[in-house]
Amino acid sequence: MTKTALIAGASGGIGLELARIHASKGDNLVLVARRGARLAEVKSELESKFKVSIYNIVKDLSVKDAAKEVFDEVKKQNIIIDYLINNAGFGDFGLFAKSNWEKQVGMINLNITALTQLTWLFLPEIISRGEGKILNVSSLAAFQPGPTMSVYFASKAFVLSFSEALNNEVRDKGITVTALCPGSTESNFHAVVLGDPKLVRKRKMMTAKEVAEIGYRAMMKGKPVVIPGLKNSFLVFASRFAPRELVVKMVRKIQGEKNFYKI
């Protein structure tokens, strides 16, 4: 039986690669993103290559009630969602006291509120069918505070905690919730945060495709948490044994070198 995945933040990066993976498996898609023209290109590419059905919803999920509007549109189209993938998110760089408040609110609305509301809206129907999977894209940033990106790091900590708790609540109902926690990933995320891609320190990063493949496999296996890359896993493990004050200082030093964590 053909299944359908809803992917929020599907116009680029990890979300786009997850869309490609699901389409390659024969899954139909509901793609959600702000960039309508880009979504149209993705729809054309994947429908042509994989012969699947794709329904696009152009929506800025950082806007109040946008998640509910997405849910209502899906219901209107009589589409049943088997896989819910909450990938939409963005970050900001700088001291919190000097930050733009509207940008911070938008980040909270997108990274936390929209993710939580989409899950709350779709989960009851998934539970009623006794099967389904949710993938919430968190970050390596979820495991420690992040000076100069304080709200972003905190929002990803919420995603991780929420996902682990929810997985415990629904696992006995045949549902699994997975938190994907990648480190720095090749994408336009850094350029958007910094406003200039040249400011990003050149170093080896995992590709969005690599991260998406790891996330997809973890979701299908029902793993609660997955951290792509042995080095990233080691960093998380090591941070558990270091004093919190030291961890925060180390993150501040890394942030000062423009080496960011990516959703």
Distances (CA, A) of 198 to 57, 165, 190, 192, 262: 33, 39, 10, 11, 17
- The DSSP H or E segment spanning 134 is strand 132-137
- Give yes or no: 152 in active site: yes
Enclosing H/E stretch for 255 = helix 244-256
Query: In the β-sheet with 83-86, what is the strand arrangement from edge to edge?
Result: 54-58, 28-33, 4-8, 83-86, 132-137, 175-180, 225-226
Q: How far apart are CA 226 and CA 43, in angstroms?
A: 28
CB atoms within 10 A of CB 72: 12
Nearest to 5 by CA among 69, 62, 60, 80: 80
- Which residue in the list 83, 152, 216, 261 is annotated as catalytic? 152
Rg from Cα positions in the chain = 18
The catalytic site residues sit at: 152
